[in-house]
């Protein structure tokens, strides 16, 4: 009688491997089903994300069109922008102008006579500075009356109304320089001294109104106003900005070209609106491409888009088409629809723009475009509101993605339940195979005992085979 044999402890069975394979077989069907389901849900979540992104991009293209102020903007074209620039408001009347920049405003600068160095004493007393009718005074003490002391006293005066002091070292010595912080004739620097001025302090007096030298002070830079001539009319300015000479137009002067005429042309800003309308068409078509791709069905490959048959996506597409096909109410003009602008719906619900017809509208009826897009029932206003509702929290897209995320959460709960069940199954298999291993071990021992006993019987010819 042959004994029951197996390698290893007990039965010699590879229990861990057997249990592992049985557990994997138990887990695989459910795990594969959950993985496949989650993969599809994640793909659909990504698809809804693409749809929301396309809607948001289209909505951003509406910002210029829905703002009524953008239809009244003016642009300024200048023959030489290095001489001056121009900004315009809605009140600027379109027209062409001849502009001459005769002179740029400069700030006043005066300097003292030469002194040995910045530590040289000048004299004591009180200095009063007057700029454009405003005055402030600084006291110069006997023990702090050098060029450097006077400079610091002026610059740190709390009521300084527009003067900076500095020291310039020339080949003949140090000069105390006073500069107006603002340009223009009105901002010229005037200096008076009082309260028993001593030493050379009186040499720092300067009075532009008298037009004569009262001291050794010299003028290094004359205070000048800007001078501009537009179509033969002249205006001056204390700075480099010319306001209101042309109603609704502000000029910023950069350099003077005396006697040279430059052209300034003010016109309606049709270009930005034209670009905005073309962007409106382009972004809407991109949105339609996204919707078409996500809802398509390929009969040859028998594959469907991730949102094919989805009611939410179909609802969104229908609402967009409805808005595009509606006319704008309340307008006292025949231009009350996209079709009147040359924009029609073509293949796959995409917009087609007739460039020639649209250019004619821009040229002859530009003032009507604001009503079509930015009025209360205008396309840009209605579509912006619609997309805002579609993409808002609690909107149709949000509800749809919330539902899908809830499904993902339930799948994760099912995975947790599966793992809990697998733990129990694994424990049961381990127990069963451990018992089997023990039983087979006992049977092997019994077989070996019987073999030995049979071999010891008298006359036995039993041989272990």
Round to whole Å and give the CA distance between 160 and 154: 7
- Is 0.75 surpassed by the pTM of this model? no
| Burial label, 235 (beta-carbon count in 10 A; 0-12, 13-18, 19+) | middle
Confidence (pLDDT) at 414: 87
The model's pLDDT over 177-232, given as tens digits with 9 standing for 90+, comes to 999 999 999 999 999 998 777 888 999 999 987 755 678 899 999 999 999 999 99
* C-alpha dihedral (182, 184, 187, 188), degrees to nearest 10: 120
Each domain of the chain, given as residue ranges in start order, spans 1-73+269-454, 74-104+226-268, 107-221
User: For the chain, what is the mean pLDDT?
Assistant: 89
| Burial label, 211 (beta-carbon count in 10 A; 0-12, 13-18, 19+) | exposed
Structure token digits, residue 257: 């070209």
Tell me whether strands 125-131 and 74-78 are parallel, antiparallel or unpaired. unpaired
Round to whole Å and give the CA distance between 441 and 431: 15
Structure token digits, residue 178: 């006073």
CATH number, domain 107-221: 2.60.40
Distances (CA, A) of 404 to 31, 35, 45: 19, 15, 7
Q: How many CB atoms lie within 10 A of CB 460?
A: 10
Confidence (pLDDT) at 111: 96
Give the DSSP letter of residue 146. B
Distances (CA, A) of 224 to 180, 207, 240, 395: 12, 16, 11, 64
Confidence (pLDDT) at 463: 54
Contact 122, 200 (CB under 8 A): yes
Q: Is 76 helix (H, G, I), strand (E, B) or coil?
A: strand
Confidence (pLDDT) at 141: 93
The model's pLDDT over 285-324, given as tens digits with 9 standing for 90+, comes to 999 999 999 999 888 888 888 899 899 999 999 999 999 9
Instruction: Find, among 197, 362, 211, the residue nearest to 278 by Cα.
Output: 362
Q: Render each residue's pLDDT in the chain as its tens digit; 465 residues.
A: 444 433 335 556 677 787 788 878 878 888 888 888 988 999 999 999 999 999 999 999 999 999 999 999 999 999 999 999 999 998 998 999 999 999 999 999 999 999 999 999 999 999 999 999 999 999 999 999 999 999 999 999 999 989 999 999 999 999 999 999 999 999 999 999 987 778 889 999 999 877 556 788 999 999 999 999 999 999 999 999 999 999 999 999 999 999 999 999 999 999 999 999 999 999 999 999 999 999 998 888 888 888 998 999 999 999 999 999 999 988 888 889 999 999 999 999 999 999 999 999 999 999 899 999 999 999 999 999 999 999 999 999 999 999 999 999 998 898 888 888 888 887 787 777 777 767 766 777 777 667 776 777 776 555 554
Q: Is 225 helix (H, G, I), strand (E, B) or coil?
A: coil
Task: Render the burial of 92-125: b for 16+ CB within 10 Å, e for the rest.
Answer: beeeebebbbeebbbbbbbbbbbbeebebbbbbb
Structure token digits, residue 356: 């020639």
Instruction: Find, among 176, 155, 179, 161, the residue nearest to 106 by Cα.
Output: 179
**Count of CA atoms in the C-beta half-sphere (13 A) of 74:** 21
């Amino acid at each position: 009688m042959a004994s029951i044999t197996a390698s290893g402890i007990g039965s010699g069975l590879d229990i861990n491997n057997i249990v592992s394979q049985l557990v994997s077989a138990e887990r695989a069907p459910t795990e594969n089903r959950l993985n496949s389901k989650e993969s599809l849900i994640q793909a659909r979540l990504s698809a809804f994300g693409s749809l929301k992104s396309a809607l948001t991009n289209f909505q951003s293209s509406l910002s210029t069109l829905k703002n009524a102020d953008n239809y009244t903007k003016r642009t300024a074209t200048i023959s030489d922008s290095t001489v001056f620039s121009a900004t315009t408001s809605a009140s600027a009347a379109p027209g062409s102008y001849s502009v001459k920049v005769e002179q740029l405003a400069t700030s006043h600068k005066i300097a003292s006579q030469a002194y040995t160095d910045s530590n040289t004493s000048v004299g004591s007393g009180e200095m009063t500075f007057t700029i454009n009718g405003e005055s402030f005074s600084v006291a110069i003490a006997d023990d702090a009356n050098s060029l450097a002391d006077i400079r610091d006293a002026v610059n740190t005066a709390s009521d300084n109304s527009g003067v900076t002091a500095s020291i310039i070292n020339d080949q003949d010595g140090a000069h105390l320089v006073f500069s107006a912080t603002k340009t223009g004739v009105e901002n010229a620097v005037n200096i008076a001294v009082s309260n028993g001025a001593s030493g050379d302090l009186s040499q720092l007096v300067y009075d532009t109104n008298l037009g004569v030298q009262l001291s050794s002070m010299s003028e290094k830079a004359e205070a000048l106003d800007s001078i501009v001539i537009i179509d033969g009319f002249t205006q001056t300015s204390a700075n480099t900005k010319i306001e209101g000479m042309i109603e609704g137009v502000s000029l910023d002067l950069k350099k003077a070209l005396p006697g040279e005429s430059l052209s300034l042309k003010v016109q309606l800003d049709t270009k930005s609106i034209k670009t905005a309308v073309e962007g409106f068409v382009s972004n809407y078509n991109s949105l339609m491409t996204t919707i078409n791709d996500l809802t398509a069905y390929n009969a040859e490959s028998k594959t469907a888009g991730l949102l094919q048959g989805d009611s939410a996506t179909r609802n969104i597409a229908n609402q967009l088409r409805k808005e595009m096909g509606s006319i704008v109410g309340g307008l006292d003009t025949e231009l009350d629809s996209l079709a009147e602008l040359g924009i029609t719906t073509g293949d796959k619900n995409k917009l087609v723009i007739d460039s020639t017809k649209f250019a004619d509208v821009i040229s002859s009826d530009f003032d009507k475009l604001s009503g079509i897009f930015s009025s209360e029932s205008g396309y840009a206003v209605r579509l912006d509101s619609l997309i805002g509702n579609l993409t808002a929290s609690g909107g149709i897209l949000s509800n749809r993605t919330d539902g899908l995320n809830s499904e993902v959460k339930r799948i994760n709960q099912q995975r947790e339940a599966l793992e809990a069940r697998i733990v129990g199954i694994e424990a049961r298999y381990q127990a069963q195979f451990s018992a089997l291993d023990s039983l087979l071990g006992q049977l092997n021992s019994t077989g070996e005992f019987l073999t030995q006993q049979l071999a010891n019987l008298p006359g036995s010819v039993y041989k272990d085979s």
